[in-house]
């Protein structure tokens, strides 16, 4: 069954008619030509498809596009309007937080969302005291980013980049 939806992606509004079973990832890549989010595993296990919806990170391969009707979607490309890099993007470059680059857009979106979660005081499994303000230690960053895999194992650069961006 086809459905009509509206998505605001990286600041641009798009009206789409698509099969109601279409994932947000497929709508972004195949219908809108936005290739920043990647199809890695297509099962929500690698994080390469991570985007921000309403500022919160989600796995776009597990979300139906119709469920995001009217949503504000931000991809890694949308974090740099007019070419001005987001602080997380700059830090990834400075710390070599990538090698092949396939997972990088998802890593960056996840890092931006994660830093906002920390700012809001959300604890993680690595937080020693869930009632206290979380301290952004290397262990805390690793736990919060554990849903984003890197086949090249650029984790040292990724964690270093997030530490810098958090400052």
Q: What pLDDT score was predicted for residue 18?
A: 97
At 77-126, the pLDDT tens digits run 999 988 899 999 999 999 999 999 999 999 999 999 999 999 999 988 88
- The answer to whether the beta carbons of residues 10 and 75 sit under 8 Å apart is yes
Domains of the chain: 2-79 (3.10.20.30), 81-166 (1.10.150.120)
Q: Spell out the residues 6+ positions from residue 12 whose beta carbon is closer than 8 angstroms to its own.
A: none
Cβ atoms 29, 17 nearer than 8 A = no
- Look at residue 134 in the predicted model and tell me its pLDDT: 84
Q: How far apart are CA 120 and CA 21, in angstroms?
A: 33
- Which pair of tokens denotes residue 37? 């989010």
Q: What is the 3-state secondary structure (H, E, C) of 40-90?
A: CCCCCCCCCCEEEECCEEEECCCCEHHHHCCCEEECCHHHCHHHCCCHHHH
| Residues 44-56: tens digit of each pLDDT | 999 999 999 999 9
């Amino acid at each position: 069954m086809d459905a009509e939806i509206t998505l605001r992606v990286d600041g641009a509004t798009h009206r789409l008619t698509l099969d109601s079973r279409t994932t947000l990832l497929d709508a972004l890549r195949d219908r809108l030509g936005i290739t920043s989010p990647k199809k890695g595993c297509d099962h929500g296990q690698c994080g390469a498809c991570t985007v921000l919806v309403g500022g919160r990170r989600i796995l776009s391969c597990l979300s139906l596009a119709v469920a995001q009707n009217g949503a504000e979607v931000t991809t890694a490309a949308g974090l740099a309007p007019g070419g001005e890099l987001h602080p997380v993007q700059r830090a990834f470059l400075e710390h070599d937080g990538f090698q092949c680059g396939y997972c990088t857009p998802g890593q960056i979106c996840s890092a931006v969302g994660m830093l906002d979660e920390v700012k809001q005081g959300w604890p993680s499994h690595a937080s020693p005291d869930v009632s206290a303000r979380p301290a952004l230690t290397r262990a805390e960053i690793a736990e919060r980013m554990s849903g984003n895999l890197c086949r090249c194992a650029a984790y040292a650069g990724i964690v270093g980049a997030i530490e810098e961006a958090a400052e």
